[in-house]
Amino acid sequence: MKKESTQRIISSFFLFILLGICLSNELFFISLIFIISILCWIEWIQICNKIKWNNLKIKIFSLFFAIYLFFTVVVSYIVYSFNITFFISILMICIFSDIGGYVFGKIIGGKKLTKISPNKTISGSLGSFIMSYIIFYLYIYFFMDTLILSAGIMKIIFIPFVFSFLCQLGDLFISYFKRKAKIKDTGNLIPGHGGILDRLDGIIFSIPLGFIFLSFI
């Protein structure tokens, strides 16, 4: 467990550096999200194959996920192009939602959240919300992004909750299929984390769905 935690911290450090580099340049950013999407799609196909569905079902689910990933890429690029600081704030919510879930879940533990993922606890879920709110309001305080501030008090209150909630749903969604496939991780590309989908399942779900939700409120 200690070795896994150490690998997780080191990997996270390098992932933050990579993310920072890619966010600083539009070409790097586009390249990154396309590469990530392809890797996620490959891991999804591997999950489908391990569930041992028939070929038709695998093709249908693979096509659906490919379309969804493309939609995620388009939405991410639109938001990134429109306001990069707002996009970063959403990424930070997603990242710290995951960190909060992991840390609070490990330290506090307690009652399980759902049978879908035995490692998920109620304390971990609450930790995800808490860390999402903390990082989002710190981000607003230090950067004073005009777009976020102009959104109104209700949106500012709801933004961390909505994106953290969708992150957790995305995590549970992928966990459900991992459980059906009888695997712990979607891959082993990132030491201490597993596969790309293990690390980005929440972000993939929260970014497009979250912005659709916000556009209606």
Global pTM reads 0.85
Query: Which pLDDT score, from 0 to 100, does residue 8 have?
Result: 64
Query: Which pLDDT score, from 0 to 100, does residue 117 have?
Result: 75
84: confidence class by pLDDT, cuts 50, 70, 90 = confident
C-alpha 165/C-alpha 171 separation (Å) is: 10
Question: Mean pLDDT over residues 168-174, rounded?
Answer: 90
With tokens 């996009």, the residue in question is 87
197: confidence class by pLDDT, cuts 50, 70, 90 = confident
Determine whether 160 is exposed, middle or buried from the number of CB atoms within 10 Å of its CB (0-12, 13-18, 19+): buried
Structure tokens at 167: 């992150």
Structure tokens at 188: 């082993």
Residue 194, SS3? Answer: strand
Instruction: Tell me which range, 50-59, 166-175, 192-201, is most confidently predicted by mean pLDDT.
Output: 166-175
Greatest extent of the chain over all pairs of C-alpha atoms, in Å: 52
137: confidence class by pLDDT, cuts 50, 70, 90 = confident
DSSP string, 136-168: HHHHHHHH--HHHHTT-HHHHHHHHHHHHHHHH
